[in-house]
Amino acid sequence: MKKAKAIVLGITISIGAQSYAQVSEPHGSLLFEDTLTLDPMYDWITIPSKETNIWQVGRSNKDFLSESNMQDAVIITDTLNSYPESLDDYFLISIPEYENTWSWPEGILSFYHKYQTDSSYDGCIIEISYDYGLSWKNILYDDIHIDNHFIGLYSDTDTIVGGIPAFSGSTNEWIYTEFHWRWMALLKSSYSEPTGYPVLKFRFVSDDNNSGKDGWAINRIVFRGYDISGSIEERINSIANVYPNPVSDLLNIEIPIHLDDLDFKLYSQDGRIQINEVIRGTQVLDLSHLSIGLYFYSLSDNGLILDSGKLIKK
């Protein structure tokens, strides 16, 4: 896996074909940014069973998918031939833990793509798994993480046979799509183990009729990983007083009296919930049983996060 790079870049809001676009505005500071290169292929990308899988990496020689002025190589459903009937092939993008320690608090994955399929019958589906590929769901219905934002994704009314949301039909130009996960480390407590890093599956499916169309091509895949929102001293959207920080044993939490009871969750660096308490006004929590180290916390109301930050146990 690639090591994270310590770089600081501004946010780009242009989504033209010549820029590495980014639309979402992250809360935290940038920890890592890299382009998932295709030639050579980045080690986060996997094409299973390459000998029989339609997905290939190279220059497109197809009429419709031939315009790729963003980089030489694309990952594409065959560089030369139209896609066949009865197809269900995929490639994977696995986003590893940050330096083998903990999941990214925020992550943005963006890419450009173009497709030509038999509308409503053949399509391009993106699925996601958080349990090492044991189960998958359409990324449109990703309800594991606290707050997700999708830009340029299909909707639940854009479906192919079986009512599956997917990209289908034809695009006249390269489309920009972006997935923004917020609080990737802070998993909903209802999610059962095991909790793994996110793995995305880019599936291309076709029915039993050969349409003679070009398929799907993707390039300029970029991932950005961000730190937790702000620093310990400068928390974003702070509505609570959480102190002392660092803390030894007893942690004080004060919330405004006009707020109803809030759910306080304290997470270890691997995203596991260590404390889950309802806070009423001012409350003191005993942290003496916890190990020394870095933790994250959130205060929420019916699942909506109102405050969050880091906490050091000393």
- Phi, psi angle pair for 139, to nearest 5°: -60, -25
Joined together, the tokens standing for residue 297 give 């916390």
Q: Determine the Cα–Cα distance for residues 233 and 2; give it in Å rounded to an integer.
A: 31
Q: For residue 9, what pLDDT is reported?
A: 27
Pairing, β 304-313 against β 293-301: antiparallel
Q: In what order do the strands lie in the sheet with 282-286?
A: 241-243, 250-254, 282-286
| Ranges 86-100, 186-200, 290-304: which has the least confidence | 186-200
What domains, with CATH codes, occur in the chain? 28-229 (2.60.120.260), 241-313 (2.60.40.10)
One-letter amino acid of 228: I
Specify the pLDDT at position 293.
86
Residues 6+ positions from 65 with CB-CB distance below 8 Å: 74, 76, 114, 116, 214, 215, 217
Q: How confident is residue 303, by pLDDT bands cut at 50, 70 and 90?
A: low
pTM above 0.85, yes or no: no
Strand partners, 192: none
Close Cβ partners of 103 (under 8 Å, ≥ 6 residues apart) = 97, 184, 185, 197, 270, 271
- Indicate the helix (H) or strand (E) that contains 90: strand 88-94
